[in-house]
Amino acid sequence: MHNSYSLSKRLVLVLFLAVVATQLFLIRNVSSLNLTNAYLHHKCLISQGKYKPGSQYEKNLNSHIDLIINSTFRNGFGHMTTAMGSPNMVNIIFQCRGDSYQSKCRSCFAAGISGEMRCPRNKGGIIWFDQCFVEITAIEVMEVNYDNNFYMHNPNKVMGDAKSFNKETMAFLEQLALEATRKDNMEDGMMALYSAREKMVGTKKLYAMVQCTRDVFMFKTMCKECLERIISQYPKCCDGKQGGRVLGTSCNFRYEFYPFLRT
């Protein structure tokens, strides 16, 4: 015959463990939501053709990848080119998000290289994750590129006055764009071309960031122009949405009602 007191204690313990497990589950999910490195999008550059197994192009590609993966990833950016002007030219560019560098950036780059299998044997391909993008091409990239831009947004709409929210959010992004291109915004002796902050919009805290890819922008005016252009696309991308972003290979922005960057 079971003791009712013993059963009660056991039931309380089970309930307590269930609550703890639930809290841990929620914490993990919130953490993964805010600091995820999820796959976002990819584009195969079909016009650049394919390479054959064992070809010189593949050897150059693998050599580049090995050199990059063994680098420090200190500033979260890399650009490597070989055999310029030849059919075997390989060009790799990667840019990690402003809060992702060293081991975090290396992990994202590795994920990007694995993700390039979505474009099997293509000489050109681009893949985006939350914390970086990786571009592999058979041509040299020396200018701002808007052709590969795409939009993402939260399906939920803001409560209240959407027009006022849009105006405040765009103004906030424009302010971040100015901060990103300030002369005194330096990192490792280079212009950071990145800015992120939070701001109260109505009764809620809005988190946002803007960033330019470093190598394309030898002059801050190019970064500023790129950011101005994509921010002007806000109405198409994100009109009245609780979160949104425009991504590309030259510059990007993002805003959310939850923190998504490391502090």
pLDDT digits (tens, 9 = 90+) for 43-65: 999 999 999 999 999 999 999 99
Q: Which of 208, 210, 196 is nearest to 165 (CA)?
A: 208
pLDDT at position 13 is: 33
**For residue 262, which phi and psi values (nearest 5 degrees)?**
-75, 145
Mean pLDDT of 98-111: 94
Say what the pLDDT of residue 28 is: 32
Domains and CATH numbers, the chain: 39-137 (3.30.430.20), 146-256 (3.30.430.20)
Helix (H) or strand (E) holding 104: helix 103-115
Task: Render pLDDT for 201-256 as a digit per residue (tens, 0 to 9).
Answer: 988 999 999 999 987 555 678 899 999 999 999 999 999 999 999 999 999 999 99
Quick: pLDDT tens for 63-96.
Answer: 999 999 999 998 899 999 987 778 899 999 999 9
Asked if 262 and 180 count as a contact pair (C-beta separation under 8 A), the reply is no
Indicate whether 25 pLDDT > 60: no
**Mean of the per-residue pLDDT values for the chain?**
85
In degrees, to the nearest 5, what angle opens at C-alpha 105 toward C-alphas 191 and 71?
85
